[in-house]
Amino acid sequence: MIDVIQGLDKTGKTWYNDSMRIDVLGVGFDSMTSKEAVSHACEILNGDKKAYIVTPNPEIVWMCRHDKRLLSVVNDAELVLPDGIGVILGARILGTPLREKIPGIDFADALFAEMAKTGKSVYLYGAKPGIAEEAARRLAEKYPGLKIVGVSDGYSDDGPVIEQINAVCPDLLLVCLGAPKQEFWIEENLDQLNVKLCAGLGGSLDVYAGAVKRAPVVFRKLGLEWFYRLIREPRRITRMCKLPLFVLTVILRRLRRVK
């Protein structure tokens, strides 16, 4: 595993071994396009090393500010992809813009398409009982060459789940338990998993299964997917309140840096 932060210069760029990341309130994001992220993931799938990917949004960044263990797990990931317009806005305010927003579910879709070309395999873990099965059925229809070798719901015990995963040795393991549970689960179990790559993708299985409707394209393009979800799920208001705090903290960080 790499160090959490090896160095932060005055421009807000953080160095992790030989890779430079953009620092947003302590979380180092990889500045790349979706195509580059998928290409790097494919290199891992075709290589010999084991790795994991995280896709923090502003809420997860805010969690990291108050949880050193989570911050370490996130920054230790092979790829840290900016999921959410808030992270993009934050990086821009800090004067170190990221190249592209890469929502986890869009990244996974693009990766599935590449995996399907070579018959690579994936295991789906998370969500309520029945959701992963329906997601598997729909993904199999959408990506005929993709091998979905197993599913487990998010209420299963760790031991049997790990045994089931290792029995089929998937190339990719999607862990959809929600943050920070999924990040901690990956950290605790990666060494004993027979997989090439793990990715923590929150509620993606609910979307793949059709249980949750994603925002229309126009909302996504305008960076208002969070607003659409708030309208459909008003109970998310408490979680959404962290977004203004995130932006305010970023602005204050920028002002201090200017001084």
pLDDT of res. 174? 98
**What CA–CA distance (Å, rounded) separates 90 from 83?**
12
- Phi/psi for 61 (5° steps) reads -60, -40
Whole-prediction pTM? 0.90
The token pair at 76 is 């230790």
Q: Where are the domains of the chain?
A: 7-214
Q: Which parts of the chain sit beneath pLDDT 50? A: 1-11, 15-18
pLDDT of res. 17? 41
| Segment 164-198, tens digit of pLDDT | 999 999 999 999 999 999 999 999 999 999 999 99
**What CA–CA distance (Å, rounded) separates 151 from 195?**
14
Strand partners, 151: 124
The CA distances from residue 41 to 115, 151, 171, 196, 204, in Å, are: 10, 21, 11, 10, 18
The token pair at 182 is 């999924």
Burial status of residue 202 (CB atoms within 10 A of its CB: 0-12, 13-18, 19 or more): buried
